[in-house]
Amino acid sequence: MILLISYDLKSKSRNYNDLYDVIKSANIWWHHLESTWLIYTEEENPIQAWKDRIRQCVDEKDMFIIFDITDSEYTGWLPNRAWNWIRIQREREIERREREKRERETGDRS
């Protein structure tokens, strides 16, 4: 699944390195826009899991939003490497879903 994480960090004096480290813990991440990250994850209930992780790293006045954009249409003005990243992660997710479907079908026949 590809998640879009966007935030508005209000505290001028706070060090948000913990937040950035948490997001980078996804291992497969993209960050070409200042307050927006895309991450690829295969975990269960990823939106809730990422909300809980991020909530621990921000202040009460900070805001953030998380979307599953795996199957969404998209457009914009970004460098080619950004579009390539998105394309590769969408293909990765399609392959994962197809693999899971085959495994379920095989398991159902046994």
pLDDT digits (tens, 9 = 90+) for 17-63: 999 999 999 989 999 999 999 999 999 899 999 999 999 999 999 99
What is the average pLDDT across 6-13? 93
Write out 5-28 in H/E/C secondary structure.
EEEECCCCCCCCHHHHHHHHCCCC
Query: Which pTM value belongs to this model?
Result: 0.83
Give the model's confidence band at 110: pLDDT under 50 very low, under 70 low, under 90 confident, else very high.
very low
Give the count of beta carbons closer than 10 Å to the beta carbon of residue 18: 13
The band of 72, judged by pLDDT with boundaries at 50, 70 and 90, is confident
Say how far apart CA 29 and CA 79 lie, in whole Å.
16
Parent domain of 101 = 2-109
* CATH code for the domain in which residue 9 is found: 3.30.70.240
Q: How many domains does the chain have?
A: 1
pLDDT at residue 53, rounded to an integer: 97
**For residue 26, which of 63, 66, 77, 59 has the smallest C-alpha distance?**
66
The whole-number pLDDT of residue 108 equals: 58
Compute the distance between CA of residue 45 and CA of residue 73 in angstroms, rounded to an integer.
22
Mean pLDDT, the chain, whole residue set: 92
